[in-house]
Amino acid sequence: MHWQYERYNFGFDRFYKMLEKYPRVDFIGHAQTWWANIDRNHEDQSNLYPRGCVTRGGLTDRLLSDYPNMYGDLSAGSGLNSMTRDEDHARGFLERHQDKLLYGSDCADSYGQGADCQGARTIKAIRRLSSNKTIERKLLHDNSKSLFRL
């Protein structure tokens, strides 16, 4: 689900109803509104790339905690921003949701390496912020393999 305020998939605040109605369907949250709402204090939904400290308990955090059929895709600038804007929060978030988060690049990444490669920056952030190699492996590989039955 690409959640982007006033552009894609409206009604983010009501999405829990779909999770309850379709408990056997797995959903993957992604994009700016999804990741901006890790912060309990995020109020300006038009701010798609918020900066600064994150207060635990945002809507995204609660959906991942409360619904076994909800997952999160760490791809794109929004996923990267969610980890790098408050690295202390990110460490706990990755640990707390280590079984529900998936790596993705969501970009062409024609560079394939270096500072201009967004996928490489996301992998680097996951490696830096994961508290151990087991969590890192889950985020980068194992969770996707399990969810997609690969």
Reading the chain (150 residues) residue by residue, the pLDDT tens digits are: 999 999 988 899 999 999 999 999 999 999 999 999 999 999 999 999 999 999 999 999 999 999 999 999 999 899 999 999 999 999 999 999 999 999 987 766 666 666 777 888 899 999 999 999 999 999 999 999 999 999
* Strand stretches in 6-149, DSSP E: 27-29, 70-73, 101-102
Whether 31 and 8 have beta carbons less than 8 Å apart is answered as yes
One-letter amino acid identity for 14? R
Q: Coil, strand or helix: which one is 4?
A: strand
DSSP state for residue 140 in the 8-state scheme: I
Give the pTM. 0.93
Angle between helical axes of 118-129 and 87-96 (0-180°, round to 10): 80
Domains of the chain, CATH where assigned = 12-147 (3.20.20.140)
One-letter amino acid identity for 138? K
The CA-CA-CA angle for residues 84, 75, 23, to 5°, reads 115
DSSP state for residue 54 in the 8-state scheme: -
